[in-house]
Amino acid sequence: MTTSVNRGWSLSYFVSTWVQRVSGFFRFRKSLSSAAAAVHGEAMCWWTDPAKLTALADIFEKNGHPAEGADLRARATIANAQPKAPASHEDAVRRAIASDNPAAIRSVATAFQKSGKGATATFLNNVADGVEAAKEVN
């Protein structure tokens, strides 16, 4: 006669819970992990290479995140469509940053604002504010 000790565990219960845990471990989650969200945010803000953005979009879509993949594909098309700023614009911004005259910096900012470059104009206005504050301290 075989005696068995019943500890509340059956083989079928053990196997079913193990399969649930393993399949849950490998199944992709519907929400992004914090690391994936950080990579997505970093790519959306700072990456400009369309090939890298498209490759990352493929990875997100393959792992069950089609919305994030679509965002990255849209960012890739925007990055591809934006032309590089002319050297004269870069030179004008560098000279404005190096200037000690807040009025001159604001005039350059106004020119950038009129040409549709609002972010650059806001940056230069902030530089002008900093120059004025530095002059008040001295």
Q: In the prediction, which pLDDT does 31 show?
A: 77
Of the candidates 45, 27, 36, 34, the residue with the CA atom closest to the CA atom of residue 67? 36
**Residue 113 burial class via C-beta count within 10 angstroms: exposed 0-12, middle 13-18, buried 19 and up:** middle
Q: Please indicate, yes or no, whether the overall pTM of this predicted structure exceeds 0.75.
A: no
Radius of gyration of the chain (CA): 28
Of the candidates 120, 97, 99, the residue with the CA atom closest to the CA atom of residue 110? 120
Residue 80 has pLDDT above 80, yes or no: no
- Per domain, the residue ranges of the chain are 32-82, 87-137
Of the candidates 30, 33, 57, the residue with the CA atom closest to the CA atom of residue 43? 57
Q: What is the pLDDT of residues 89-127, one digit of tens each?
A: 889 999 999 999 999 999 999 998 888 788 899 999 999
Q: What is the pLDDT of residues 6-34, one digit of tens each?
A: 555 555 555 555 545 544 444 445 677 88
As a whole number of angstroms, the distance between CA 56 and CA 79 comes to: 14
Of the candidates 102, 107, 92, 95, the residue with the CA atom closest to the CA atom of residue 127? 102
